[in-house]
Structure 1
Protein backbone atom coordinates (compact mmCIF):
# COMPACT_ATOMS: atom_id res chain seq x y z
CA UNK A 1 0.00 0.00 0.00
CA UNK A 2 1.45 3.33 -1.08
CA UNK A 3 0.89 6.51 0.81
CA UNK A 4 1.03 9.97 -0.57
CA UNK A 5 1.36 13.14 1.40
CA UNK A 6 0.76 16.62 0.19
CA UNK A 7 1.59 19.78 1.97
CA UNK A 8 -1.22 22.32 1.68
CA UNK A 9 -0.21 25.96 1.53
CA UNK A 10 -1.31 27.63 4.78
CA UNK A 11 -3.28 30.40 3.01
CA UNK A 12 -5.05 28.06 0.58
CA UNK A 13 -8.17 27.59 2.68
CA UNK A 14 -8.56 31.35 3.08
CA UNK A 15 -8.14 31.84 -0.66
CA UNK A 16 -10.67 29.09 -1.43
CA UNK A 17 -13.16 30.57 1.03
CA UNK A 18 -12.60 34.04 -0.44
CA UNK A 19 -13.27 32.63 -3.93
CA UNK A 20 -16.58 31.11 -2.84
CA UNK A 21 -17.58 34.33 -1.09
CA UNK A 22 -16.48 36.40 -4.11
CA UNK A 23 -18.77 34.36 -6.39
CA UNK A 24 -21.75 34.86 -4.08
CA UNK A 25 -21.07 38.57 -3.67
CA UNK A 26 -20.69 38.98 -7.46
CA UNK A 27 -24.09 37.36 -8.02
CA UNK A 28 -25.68 39.61 -5.41
CA UNK A 29 -24.00 42.71 -6.86
CA UNK A 30 -25.18 41.87 -10.37
CA UNK A 31 -28.71 41.30 -9.05
CA UNK A 32 -28.66 44.70 -7.30
CA UNK A 33 -27.41 46.37 -10.49
CA UNK A 34 -30.20 44.77 -12.55
CA UNK A 35 -32.84 45.75 -9.98
CA UNK A 36 -31.47 49.31 -9.91
CA UNK A 37 -31.65 49.46 -13.72
CA UNK A 38 -35.32 48.44 -13.55
CA UNK A 39 -36.04 51.14 -10.95
CA UNK A 40 -33.86 53.94 -12.34
CA UNK A 41 -35.76 57.12 -13.21
CA UNK A 42 -35.86 58.34 -16.79
CA UNK A 43 -33.97 61.47 -17.76
CA UNK A 44 -35.01 64.71 -19.44
CA UNK A 45 -33.13 67.15 -21.67
CA UNK A 46 -33.62 70.91 -21.95
CA UNK A 47 -33.83 71.96 -25.60
CA UNK A 48 -33.60 75.69 -26.19
CA UNK A 49 -35.16 77.35 -29.21
CA UNK A 50 -32.75 77.95 -32.03
CA UNK A 51 -31.86 81.46 -32.99
CA UNK A 52 -31.07 84.73 -31.35
CA UNK A 53 -34.47 84.90 -29.64
CA UNK A 54 -33.54 82.36 -26.92
CA UNK A 55 -32.60 83.89 -23.59
CA UNK A 56 -28.96 83.55 -22.53
CA UNK A 57 -30.01 81.47 -19.52
CA UNK A 58 -32.01 79.11 -21.75
CA UNK A 59 -29.13 78.77 -24.22
CA UNK A 60 -26.91 77.96 -21.24
CA UNK A 61 -29.33 75.20 -20.15
CA UNK A 62 -29.56 73.82 -23.70
CA UNK A 63 -28.64 70.13 -23.71
CA UNK A 64 -28.78 69.84 -19.91
CA UNK A 65 -29.65 66.17 -19.41
CA UNK A 66 -30.63 65.23 -15.87
CA UNK A 67 -32.83 62.73 -14.00
CA UNK A 68 -36.50 63.49 -14.62
CA UNK A 69 -37.11 63.68 -10.87
CA UNK A 70 -34.87 66.73 -10.30
CA UNK A 71 -35.35 70.31 -11.53
CA UNK A 72 -33.33 71.99 -14.27
CA UNK A 73 -30.89 74.67 -13.18
CA UNK A 74 -31.17 77.87 -15.20
CA UNK A 75 -28.75 80.73 -14.53
CA UNK A 76 -30.60 83.64 -12.95
CA UNK A 77 -31.00 86.72 -15.08
CA UNK A 78 -30.75 90.24 -13.72
CA UNK A 79 -31.79 93.38 -15.53
CA UNK A 80 -29.32 96.27 -15.53
CA UNK A 81 -31.23 99.51 -16.04
CA UNK A 82 -30.16 102.39 -18.18
CA UNK A 83 -28.00 104.70 -16.13
CA UNK A 84 -27.46 101.95 -13.54
CA UNK A 85 -24.30 100.05 -12.64
CA UNK A 86 -23.32 98.77 -16.09
CA UNK A 87 -19.87 97.53 -15.15
CA UNK A 88 -21.30 94.13 -14.28
CA UNK A 89 -20.11 91.62 -16.89
CA UNK A 90 -19.72 94.31 -19.51
CA UNK A 91 -23.45 94.88 -19.76
CA UNK A 92 -24.64 97.89 -21.68
CA UNK A 93 -27.57 99.99 -20.53
CA UNK A 94 -30.95 98.29 -20.38
CA UNK A 95 -29.80 94.65 -20.73
CA UNK A 96 -30.34 91.30 -19.08
CA UNK A 97 -27.20 89.71 -17.64
CA UNK A 98 -26.57 86.24 -16.25
CA UNK A 99 -25.63 86.08 -12.56
CA UNK A 100 -24.08 83.21 -10.59
CA UNK A 101 -27.24 81.99 -8.81
CA UNK A 102 -29.76 79.61 -10.42
CA UNK A 103 -33.51 79.36 -10.92
CA UNK A 104 -34.98 75.85 -10.61
CA UNK A 105 -37.60 74.58 -13.06
CA UNK A 106 -39.23 71.21 -13.61
CA UNK A 107 -39.86 72.18 -17.24
CA UNK A 108 -39.78 75.19 -19.57
CA UNK A 109 -42.42 77.79 -18.67
CA UNK A 110 -42.62 76.31 -15.17
CA UNK A 111 -44.94 78.53 -13.07
CA UNK A 112 -42.33 78.63 -10.29
CA UNK A 113 -39.90 80.48 -12.58
CA UNK A 114 -39.73 84.26 -12.47
CA UNK A 115 -41.89 85.86 -15.14
CA UNK A 116 -38.90 86.98 -17.25
CA UNK A 117 -37.68 83.33 -17.40
CA UNK A 118 -40.98 81.80 -18.53
CA UNK A 119 -42.90 84.34 -20.60
CA UNK A 120 -42.71 83.67 -24.38
CA UNK A 121 -40.37 80.72 -23.77
CA UNK A 122 -40.42 78.25 -26.64
CA UNK A 123 -37.97 75.72 -25.16
CA UNK A 124 -38.84 72.04 -24.82
CA UNK A 125 -38.21 69.36 -22.21
CA UNK A 126 -37.43 66.16 -24.08
CA UNK A 127 -37.90 62.80 -22.26
CA UNK A 128 -34.82 60.56 -22.49
CA UNK A 129 -35.81 57.08 -21.24
CA UNK A 130 -33.29 54.46 -20.21
CA UNK A 131 -30.08 56.50 -20.07
CA UNK A 132 -29.71 56.31 -16.29
CA UNK A 133 -30.32 52.56 -16.39
CA UNK A 134 -27.64 52.29 -19.09
CA UNK A 135 -25.23 54.19 -16.82
CA UNK A 136 -25.73 51.68 -13.98
CA UNK A 137 -23.18 48.90 -13.53
CA UNK A 138 -21.69 46.52 -10.98
CA UNK A 139 -17.96 46.99 -10.42
CA UNK A 140 -15.64 44.02 -9.86
CA UNK A 141 -15.72 42.54 -6.37
CA UNK A 142 -12.58 43.08 -4.27
CA UNK A 143 -11.31 40.62 -1.66
CA UNK A 144 -8.67 41.74 0.83
CA UNK A 145 -7.95 39.25 3.52
CA UNK A 146 -11.29 38.44 5.09
CA UNK A 147 -13.02 41.55 3.73
CA UNK A 148 -15.12 41.52 0.58
CA UNK A 149 -16.39 44.73 -1.00
CA UNK A 150 -18.71 45.35 -3.91
CA UNK A 151 -20.04 48.49 -5.58
CA UNK A 152 -22.93 49.29 -7.88
CA UNK A 153 -22.32 52.68 -9.50
CA UNK A 154 -24.33 55.09 -11.58
CA UNK A 155 -22.33 57.73 -13.42
CA UNK A 156 -24.79 60.39 -14.52
CA UNK A 157 -25.18 64.14 -13.83
CA UNK A 158 -27.04 64.91 -10.60
CA UNK A 159 -27.98 61.27 -9.97
CA UNK A 160 -27.25 61.80 -6.27
CA UNK A 161 -30.11 64.30 -6.14
CA UNK A 162 -32.38 61.74 -7.82
CA UNK A 163 -31.39 59.09 -5.26
CA UNK A 164 -31.42 61.15 -2.06
CA UNK A 165 -33.51 64.20 -2.98
CA UNK A 166 -32.94 67.86 -2.19
CA UNK A 167 -34.60 70.40 0.05
CA UNK A 168 -37.21 70.88 -2.68
CA UNK A 169 -37.68 67.34 -4.03
CA UNK A 170 -37.89 63.89 -2.44
CA UNK A 171 -35.44 61.23 -3.56
CA UNK A 172 -36.51 58.16 -5.51
CA UNK A 173 -34.05 55.91 -3.59
CA UNK A 174 -33.86 53.53 -6.56
CA UNK A 175 -30.37 52.25 -5.63
CA UNK A 176 -31.01 51.68 -1.94
CA UNK A 177 -34.38 50.10 -2.69
CA UNK A 178 -32.73 47.75 -5.21
CA UNK A 179 -30.25 46.60 -2.56
CA UNK A 180 -32.98 46.10 0.02
CA UNK A 181 -35.17 44.09 -2.35
CA UNK A 182 -32.34 41.81 -3.50
CA UNK A 183 -31.26 41.13 0.08
CA UNK A 184 -34.86 40.48 1.17
CA UNK A 185 -35.19 37.82 -1.56
CA UNK A 186 -32.04 36.09 -0.33
CA UNK A 187 -33.32 35.55 3.22
Structure 2
Protein backbone atom coordinates (compact mmCIF):
# COMPACT_ATOMS: atom_id res chain seq x y z
CA UNK A 1 0.00 0.00 0.00
CA UNK A 2 1.38 3.38 -1.01
CA UNK A 3 0.97 6.44 1.08
CA UNK A 4 1.14 10.04 -0.01
CA UNK A 5 1.44 13.14 2.00
CA UNK A 6 0.27 16.56 0.99
CA UNK A 7 1.29 19.68 2.74
CA UNK A 8 -1.20 22.48 2.68
CA UNK A 9 0.34 25.90 2.92
CA UNK A 10 -0.71 27.59 6.15
CA UNK A 11 -1.82 30.73 4.31
CA UNK A 12 -3.80 28.89 1.58
CA UNK A 13 -7.19 29.90 2.98
CA UNK A 14 -6.13 33.53 3.16
CA UNK A 15 -4.78 33.45 -0.41
CA UNK A 16 -7.95 31.80 -1.76
CA UNK A 17 -10.12 34.36 0.02
CA UNK A 18 -7.95 37.20 -1.28
CA UNK A 19 -8.35 35.93 -4.86
CA UNK A 20 -12.15 35.79 -4.54
CA UNK A 21 -12.25 39.25 -2.98
CA UNK A 22 -9.94 40.64 -5.66
CA UNK A 23 -12.25 39.32 -8.40
CA UNK A 24 -15.33 40.91 -6.81
CA UNK A 25 -13.62 44.24 -6.21
CA UNK A 26 -12.22 44.29 -9.76
CA UNK A 27 -15.72 43.78 -11.17
CA UNK A 28 -17.01 46.63 -9.01
CA UNK A 29 -14.18 49.00 -9.99
CA UNK A 30 -14.68 48.18 -13.68
CA UNK A 31 -18.41 48.89 -13.28
CA UNK A 32 -17.58 52.24 -11.63
CA UNK A 33 -15.18 53.07 -14.48
CA UNK A 34 -17.87 52.23 -17.06
CA UNK A 35 -20.46 54.35 -15.24
CA UNK A 36 -17.96 57.22 -14.96
CA UNK A 37 -17.25 56.99 -18.70
CA UNK A 38 -20.99 57.30 -19.37
CA UNK A 39 -21.23 60.35 -17.11
CA UNK A 40 -17.95 62.02 -18.08
CA UNK A 41 -18.32 65.60 -19.31
CA UNK A 42 -17.35 66.74 -22.77
CA UNK A 43 -14.16 68.74 -23.14
CA UNK A 44 -13.64 72.07 -24.89
CA UNK A 45 -10.63 73.34 -26.82
CA UNK A 46 -9.52 76.95 -27.35
CA UNK A 47 -8.67 77.59 -31.00
CA UNK A 48 -6.81 80.80 -31.91
CA UNK A 49 -8.18 81.26 -35.43
CA UNK A 50 -5.92 84.08 -36.56
CA UNK A 51 -2.62 82.28 -35.84
CA UNK A 52 0.39 84.57 -35.54
CA UNK A 53 -1.91 87.60 -35.54
CA UNK A 54 -3.63 86.45 -32.34
CA UNK A 55 -2.65 88.29 -29.21
CA UNK A 56 0.03 86.46 -27.17
CA UNK A 57 -2.34 85.38 -24.41
CA UNK A 58 -4.68 83.80 -26.98
CA UNK A 59 -1.80 82.05 -28.75
CA UNK A 60 -0.78 80.69 -25.35
CA UNK A 61 -4.32 79.34 -24.82
CA UNK A 62 -4.44 77.82 -28.32
CA UNK A 63 -5.09 74.09 -28.05
CA UNK A 64 -5.93 74.25 -24.33
CA UNK A 65 -8.29 71.27 -23.90
CA UNK A 66 -10.13 71.13 -20.60
CA UNK A 67 -13.41 69.81 -19.17
CA UNK A 68 -16.33 71.83 -20.56
CA UNK A 69 -17.50 73.03 -17.14
CA UNK A 70 -14.09 74.54 -16.27
CA UNK A 71 -12.99 78.03 -17.39
CA UNK A 72 -10.05 78.56 -19.72
CA UNK A 73 -6.97 80.19 -18.21
CA UNK A 74 -5.45 82.98 -20.29
CA UNK A 75 -2.27 84.69 -19.14
CA UNK A 76 -3.18 88.08 -17.69
CA UNK A 77 -1.61 90.93 -19.64
CA UNK A 78 -1.05 94.57 -18.84
CA UNK A 79 -0.06 97.48 -21.05
CA UNK A 80 2.90 99.43 -19.67
CA UNK A 81 3.83 102.82 -21.01
CA UNK A 82 7.43 103.90 -21.62
CA UNK A 83 9.01 105.48 -18.52
CA UNK A 84 10.39 109.06 -18.26
CA UNK A 85 14.13 109.21 -19.16
CA UNK A 86 14.19 105.90 -21.07
CA UNK A 87 11.37 107.12 -23.31
CA UNK A 88 13.07 110.45 -24.08
CA UNK A 89 16.44 108.85 -24.90
CA UNK A 90 15.10 106.14 -27.16
CA UNK A 91 12.44 108.29 -28.80
CA UNK A 92 9.93 105.57 -27.94
CA UNK A 93 6.32 106.56 -27.72
CA UNK A 94 3.76 104.35 -26.06
CA UNK A 95 4.62 101.09 -24.38
CA UNK A 96 4.17 97.35 -24.66
CA UNK A 97 2.05 94.44 -23.46
CA UNK A 98 3.54 92.53 -20.54
CA UNK A 99 2.46 89.03 -19.51
CA UNK A 100 1.86 88.71 -15.78
CA UNK A 101 1.96 85.57 -13.61
CA UNK A 102 -1.80 85.70 -12.94
CA UNK A 103 -4.54 84.41 -15.24
CA UNK A 104 -7.83 85.67 -16.64
CA UNK A 105 -10.65 83.11 -16.57
CA UNK A 106 -13.09 82.69 -19.46
CA UNK A 107 -15.79 80.17 -20.29
CA UNK A 108 -15.30 81.00 -23.98
CA UNK A 109 -13.57 83.51 -26.27
CA UNK A 110 -15.04 87.03 -25.90
CA UNK A 111 -16.43 86.07 -22.47
CA UNK A 112 -17.90 89.23 -20.88
CA UNK A 113 -15.94 88.65 -17.67
CA UNK A 114 -12.64 89.03 -19.57
CA UNK A 115 -10.98 92.44 -19.52
CA UNK A 116 -11.81 94.49 -22.62
CA UNK A 117 -8.32 94.07 -24.13
CA UNK A 118 -8.70 90.27 -23.91
CA UNK A 119 -12.07 90.10 -25.69
CA UNK A 120 -12.37 92.98 -28.17
CA UNK A 121 -11.78 91.94 -31.81
CA UNK A 122 -11.09 88.36 -30.70
CA UNK A 123 -11.63 85.84 -33.48
CA UNK A 124 -10.85 82.72 -31.41
CA UNK A 125 -13.29 79.84 -31.04
CA UNK A 126 -14.17 77.27 -28.43
CA UNK A 127 -14.74 73.80 -29.89
CA UNK A 128 -16.52 70.97 -28.06
CA UNK A 129 -14.52 67.72 -28.02
CA UNK A 130 -16.65 64.70 -27.18
CA UNK A 131 -15.43 61.49 -25.57
CA UNK A 132 -11.85 62.44 -24.65
CA UNK A 133 -12.50 62.48 -20.91
CA UNK A 134 -14.35 59.15 -21.08
CA UNK A 135 -11.38 57.73 -23.02
CA UNK A 136 -9.05 58.89 -20.22
CA UNK A 137 -11.06 56.98 -17.58
CA UNK A 138 -9.96 53.51 -16.44
CA UNK A 139 -9.96 51.07 -13.56
CA UNK A 140 -6.47 50.26 -12.28
CA UNK A 141 -5.51 46.74 -11.16
CA UNK A 142 -6.87 45.80 -7.74
CA UNK A 143 -4.35 45.15 -4.96
CA UNK A 144 -4.88 42.93 -1.93
CA UNK A 145 -2.53 43.37 0.99
CA UNK A 146 -3.41 41.39 4.08
CA UNK A 147 -7.05 42.12 4.88
CA UNK A 148 -7.12 45.32 2.82
CA UNK A 149 -8.26 45.64 -0.77
CA UNK A 150 -7.44 48.69 -2.87
CA UNK A 151 -9.24 49.56 -6.10
CA UNK A 152 -8.78 52.80 -8.01
CA UNK A 153 -10.68 54.36 -10.89
CA UNK A 154 -8.65 57.19 -12.41
CA UNK A 155 -9.26 59.91 -14.95
CA UNK A 156 -5.99 61.22 -16.33
CA UNK A 157 -7.01 64.56 -17.83
CA UNK A 158 -5.95 68.17 -17.39
CA UNK A 159 -7.87 69.97 -14.60
CA UNK A 160 -10.22 67.02 -14.01
CA UNK A 161 -10.28 67.67 -10.24
CA UNK A 162 -11.81 71.11 -10.93
CA UNK A 163 -14.45 69.46 -13.11
CA UNK A 164 -15.26 66.93 -10.39
CA UNK A 165 -15.20 69.17 -7.32
CA UNK A 166 -15.58 72.71 -8.73
CA UNK A 167 -13.35 75.77 -8.45
CA UNK A 168 -13.39 79.48 -9.27
CA UNK A 169 -17.17 79.77 -8.72
CA UNK A 170 -17.72 76.77 -11.03
CA UNK A 171 -19.85 74.00 -9.51
CA UNK A 172 -18.44 70.49 -9.61
CA UNK A 173 -20.08 67.77 -11.68
CA UNK A 174 -19.28 64.95 -9.22
CA UNK A 175 -19.50 62.43 -12.07
CA UNK A 176 -16.91 60.10 -10.50
CA UNK A 177 -18.42 60.07 -7.03
CA UNK A 178 -21.90 59.67 -8.52
CA UNK A 179 -20.67 56.70 -10.59
CA UNK A 180 -19.36 55.02 -7.43
CA UNK A 181 -22.56 55.70 -5.51
CA UNK A 182 -24.77 54.36 -8.31
CA UNK A 183 -22.76 51.17 -8.76
CA UNK A 184 -22.74 50.47 -5.03
CA UNK A 185 -26.48 51.20 -4.74
CA UNK A 186 -27.17 48.61 -7.48
CA UNK A 187 -25.17 45.97 -5.58
CA UNK A 188 -27.19 46.25 -2.34
1:9 Cα deviation from its structure 2 partner: 1.2
**Structure 2 SS opposite 1:183:** helix
Counterpart contact for 1:83–1:93, Cα < 8 Å: no
Q: CA distance change for structure 1 residues 30 and 97 in 2, over 3 Å: closer, same or farther?
A: same
**Structure 2 SS opposite 1:121:** coil
1:162 Cα deviation from its structure 2 partner: 0.2
Q: CA distance change for structure 1 residues 151 and 84 in 2, over 3 Å: closer, same or farther?
A: farther
Write out aligned runs for 1:7-156 (5 A): 7-83=7-83, 93-156=94-157
Instruction: Report the equivalent of 2:89.
Output: none
Q: CA distance change for structure 1 residues 51 and 141 in 2, over 3 Å: closer, same or farther?
A: closer
Could you list the per-position Cα deviations for residues 68-109 of structure 1 after superposition, in whole angstroms to 9, with x for gaps in the alignment? Answer: 0100000001001133698xxxxx942111111000000000
Q: CA distance change for structure 1 residues 184 and 84 in 2, over 3 Å: closer, same or farther?
A: farther
What is the root-mean-square deviation in Å for CA atoms of aligned residues?
A: 1.9
**C-alpha distance in 1 between matches for 2:176 and 2:84:** 50
TM-score relative to the length of structure 1: 0.91
Counterpart contact for 1:43–1:132, Cα < 8 Å: yes
Counterpart contact for 1:42–1:131, Cα < 8 Å: yes
**C-alpha distance in 2 between matches for 1:53 and 1:120:** 11
1:3 Cα deviation from its structure 2 partner: 7.9
1:167 Cα deviation from its structure 2 partner: 3.6
Q: CA distance change for structure 1 residues 133 and 7 in 2, over 3 Å: closer, same or farther?
A: same
Instruction: Report the equivalent of 1:89.
Output: none
TM-score relative to the length of structure 2: 0.91
Question: How many residues are matched?
Answer: 182
**C-alpha distance in 2 between matches for 1:186 and 1:3:** 48
Unaligned runs of 5+ in 1: 87-91
Could you list the per-position Cα deviations for residues 128-186 of structure 1 after superposition, in whole angstroms to 9, with x for gaps in the alignment? Answer: 00000000000000011111100000000000000010141010001000000000000
Instruction: Report the equivalent of 2:90.
Output: none
**C-alpha distance in 2 between matches for 1:85 and 1:134:** 58
Q: CA distance change for structure 1 residues 60 and 14 in 2, over 3 Å: closer, same or farther?
A: same
